Amino acid sequence: MFPPPPQDPAAVLRRAVNRLSRRMRTERPQDGLPSGRLGVLAHLYRSGPSAPGAIAAALHVQPQSLTRTLAALAGDGMVSRTRDAADGRSHVIELTDRGFAAMARDVRHGDTWLRERMDAELNDTERDVLRLAAALLDRLAGDE
């Protein structure tokens, strides 16, 4: 089997998204949160308190692999963990003020870098196209 031709629209999009993703990771703050922790905090911010299984499903990871991340976030006071009132065997994970502040700082840093690049490199029409592309990428990615 051969790789897709370089001009294949899916391959072009995949390469561009991957390249931007790698670049944004290199622009993260030195003392920023690991991406797995940031992903959990961002999910809790968007979706509200959630069961660990729901978080794992939304992030497309195995629940067992999330255990250490949730323990670290709880240990740092970034999430709270309480018994589920409906099912005492289960827990609900909730974003704390400290977790929100840490997430907001990292996200703000990345958004600032990207906004500065967009302002320096793109004209108004190109920025509008990227806003439309972002909505389409979210649609392609499906629910989270």
What pTM was estimated for this model as a whole? Answer: 0.81
Residue-wise pLDDT for 30-70, tens only, equals 899 998 999 999 999 999 999 999 999 999 999 888 999 99
Say if 109 falls within a structural domain: yes
Residue 142 pLDDT: 82
Domain count, the chain: 1
d(CA 21, CA 109): 14
Is 60 exceeded by the pLDDT of residue 144? no
- Please indicate, yes or no, if residue 7 is contained in any of the structural domains: no
* Residues contacting residue 48 through CB under 8 Å, at least 6 positions apart: 94
Given a contact cutoff of 8 angstroms between Cβ atoms, the answer to whether 124 and 98 are in contact is: no
Q: Which domain holds residue 119?
A: 32-141
pLDDT of residue 88: 72
The answer to whether position 80 is within a domain reads yes
What pLDDT does residue 143 have?
60
Mean pLDDT of 16-43: 93
